[in-house]
């Protein structure tokens, strides 16, 4: 039996996060702090052998995933509108490994 591990990563900070604005499906960018956060999580996950990466198609989530995938050549980012944030739910990026 194969074990599948799912890593869920929240996007880095945006200016709207700092201002406590609920972004929902508003397509915002990472700010400089969010870029640093994404780079830190990328470093922390660099030795995890991912087989797939699925992200919301919103820029803040996809940009976070792209920074992580710098350390994972051969893993393609799949953006999926269906996993966009919904009010009251989390927007995430999923990384899978078997």
* Residues classed as catalytic: 11, 85
**C-beta of residue 57 within 8 angstroms of C-beta of residue 29:** no
Beta strands 5-9 and 77-79 are: unpaired
Q: What angle do CA 91, 67, 57 make, to 5 degrees?
A: 35
């Amino acid at each position: 039996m194969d074990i599948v591990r799912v890593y869920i990563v929240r996007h880095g900070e945006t200016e709207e996060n700092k201002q406590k604005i609920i972004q929902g499906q508003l397509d915002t960018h990472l700010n400089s702090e969010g870029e640093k956060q994404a780079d830190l999580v990328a470093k922390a996950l660099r030795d995890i052998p991912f087989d797939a990466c699925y992200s919301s198609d919103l820029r803040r989530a996809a940009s976070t995933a792209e920074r992580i995938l710098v350390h994972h050549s051969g893993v393609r980012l799949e953006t999926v509108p269906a996993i966009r944030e919904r009010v009251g739910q989390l927007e995430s990026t999923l990384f899978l490994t078997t």
